[in-house]
Amino acid sequence: MSSKPDSLDRLNKEWNTIAPNMLYYEQFNNEANVISDSLKEFYFKGENITAANIQSLAEAFGDRFISNGVCETASLLSKYVKVYMAVMNYQGENSLVNIELNATNLPGCYLIDTNLNVHFFIF
């Protein structure tokens, strides 16, 4: 999505319709608006999406399509083999690690099991 003002205006006006399709959680029809509102509050502090905070949209995409996919894959694989997942995190407020582990600004690499228990940190 470009950061053209008209695109961002449409995204803001139609957030509860566009976000479920854009971030692939439309299957939760009964909860889609609640999820959309929660995502907007978490990533954008409830503010409109603007060129100034467009990085937060990129972080939402990264968390949804990369971090979440890695977690889902590890969970599926763990049904058949032992899985130890290495997660690399950036220092920032908006990341899946912060949501799942309630932690902020964790640098480096650490291993977590499929229950999201932290085993150790490497700095």
Is the pTM higher than 0.75? The answer reads: no
Domain count of the fold of the chain = 1
* d(C-alpha 45, C-alpha 53), whole Å: 10
SS (H, E, C) the chain: CCCCHHHHHHHHHCHHHHHHHHCCCCCCCCCHHHHHHHHHHHHHCCCCCCHHHHHHHHHHHHHHHHHHHHHHHHHHHCCCCCCCEEEECCCCCCCHHHHHHCCCCCCCEEEECCCCCEEEEEC
Q: Given this model, what pLDDT does residue 99 score?
A: 54
- End-to-end, the C-alpha distance of the chain in Å comes to 35
Confidence of residue 14 (pLDDT cuts 50, 70, 90): very high
pLDDT digit string, tens, across residues 77-122 = 888 888 777 766 555 555 555 555 454 444 444 455 555 555 444 3
Contact present, 103 and 110 (Cβ < 8 Å) = no
State which residues form the domain around 108.
5-122
